[in-house]
Amino acid sequence: MKTAYKKSSKKKRPRRFPKGRQVKESAVSDVRASLGDLGDGPFIREKLIEYLHLLNDAHGHLKADHIAALAKVMGLAQIDVYETATFYSHFKVLKDDEAAPHSLTLRICDGPTCRMAGAKTLLKDALAEFGNQMNVISAPCQGACDQAPSAIMGQHRVAPASLKTLDPKKTTPEPLPKCATPKIIQAPDILNTLEKSGLRGLGGAGFPTATKWRFFDEAPYPRVLVVNADEAEPGTFKDRYLFEHHMDQVLGGMVTSAKALDVQDVFIYLRDEYAHIREALSEVLKTLDTDSIKIHLRRGAGAYICGEETALIESLEGKRGLPRNRPPYPAQSGYLGRPTITQNVETLYWIAEIAQHGADWYIEQQRPRFYSISGRVRQPGVYRAPSTATVQELIDAADGLLEGQTLQAFLPGGASGGIFPARFANKVMDFGEFEKVGGFVGSAALTILSDLDDVWDIAGTLCVFFADESCGQCTPCRLGTIKMADLIKDPKANEEQIRELASAMQETSICGLGQAAPNPVLTLLDHGLNGGEHDT
């Protein structure tokens, strides 16, 4: 039976003010001034994150009025700007009633290697010393594990030993990397050469480079090449090293690849912590001869998920870094729907080397690569070694363990590659080897743990890291990482639940973050570091 509703006789009061946040002209003027030369427009949707960086740099934070004003001048809904700004950890977005924080922020790394080097104590001391002068916070790995504990003040890295005598107004920037003239190799048969060499992507996934390039065989124009320089895997700093010491080779490999792939635009997506590299690249790119290829330098904003290529492409488009469902694959539809290929910094370095010396040379060198070695070793740093090198050989290259310490365990591939006991130190650090025992070498971030370290504490730290860095798009990862961090507090009692949860995350997460997040816990359970013994 239908119910009759009586229409209200009350008259609606006229609305005195328009709905939504109103834009102040003073805020618009402030935004335009903060954007400098870009403030006069035209405003480009894909540069939203660049505009947010300029605003955040100018004020030390993002005000709600500035977000509204930026949305107005860009012709966007305020929610589009707000959700992008709040997605990235390097933007401080203020609430309406929130007092403006200090304009300067000191970030102290809380990654595994920095924790071993006393990051907790450093954070406590810095809060006591500078808490009333600046924002002092802990942060994920900053790509400086060879300098642990790492600290960044504003845009500049600072030596922890100098914090007590540091003058925030007189910070000294890192020296700018020097770059020789990049050598562009004219290699008409480069694709076949790369195929013969067996070069694989060295950002983590290890996909064969030539196979990826062949996806462009029938790709329409215009095409895009993306350089993934946002290395954020805890323990990884090889790309920073290559930009600092071999920028000419990286850029040479980039332009050689761009010409071979016949792309029209190249985007370098550089992690925000590498301010000195960004400044050096900005100068070098002004004079780099690239014919008709346009090179764009873009700045990351503190999101580990943007290491995943489709999340990176979303970020380049000025959006939240949410991984895309596939298909279509980026080589079919990537940046703005254009065919797109993404390459890691180190991969481009070796493309330049192989183009110059040939596939046979690369094979005779035993397919060398660069390893980031940190933790309890005497000489942490980046080491070039063959892909056939074992964990123990790499430890020896770093001058062995610290005095009086013995090897207990290691992470072969950063946070997501697993944690393995010392008896696996004879394994080769090559693609496919650690997969046999439940891990992987990934970006070759080798972190060494000694008998002084609590491996379950390290695993717990990594679980919290994954929970913090999950983009939240898919339920298995969003909730699974949080639940895993809770279950690991008593891994023996919760082993059945841990394995059930891990299986669900690995099988149903959209991208590699959720799929690999259980690896540190599972490898500890599988290989005896929980008190049991298993086959190697």
pLDDT above 80: residue 319: yes
Report H helices in 422-527.
455-469, 475-487, 495-508, 512-516, 519-526
Beta pairing class for 420-421 and 445-450: unpaired
Question: Given this model, what pLDDT does residue 382 score?
Answer: 98
Q: What is the pLDDT of residues 113-126, one digit of tens each?
A: 999 999 999 999 89
Average pLDDT of the segment spanning 204-231:
95
CA distance 210 to 77: 42
Question: Which H or E element spans position 471?
Answer: none
Q: Domain 369-526 carries which CATH code?
A: 3.10.20.600
Residue type, 317: E
pLDDT above 60: residue 532: no
225 beta partners = 266, 341
Q: What is the pLDDT of residues 155-177, one digit of tens each?
A: 888 877 666 666 666 667 788 89
CATH architecture classification, 190-359:
3-Layer(aba) Sandwich (3.40)
Average pLDDT of the segment spanning 31-48:
94
Q: Which of 21, 226, 43, 275 is nearest to 51 (CA)?
A: 43
CA distance 106 to 87: 20
Q: Do the beta carbons of residue 481 and residue 463 sit within 8 Å?
A: yes
Question: Given this model, what pLDDT does residue 398 score?
Answer: 98
Q: In what order do the strands lie in the sheet with 369-375?
A: 381-385, 369-375, 445-450, 407-411, 420-421
Question: Given this model, what pLDDT does residue 531 score?
Answer: 40
What backbone phi and psi angles, to 5 degrees, belong to 476? -55, -40
pLDDT band at 535 (very low <50, low <70, confident <90, very high): very low
pLDDT band at 534 (very low <50, low <70, confident <90, very high): very low
CA distance 69 to 91: 17
For 1, counting Cβ atoms within 10 Å of its Cβ (0-12 exposed, 13-18 middle, 19+ buried), the class is exposed
Q: What is the pLDDT of residues 13-37, one digit of tens each?
A: 655 555 677 899 999 999 999 999 9
The structural domains of the chain, with segments of one domain joined by +, span 25-87, 109-132+140-161, 190-359, 369-526
CA distance 464 to 340: 33
pLDDT band at 63 (very low <50, low <70, confident <90, very high): very high
CA distance 320 to 425: 40
Opening angle at CA 137, ends 139 and 145, nearest 5: 35
CA distance 93 to 82: 8
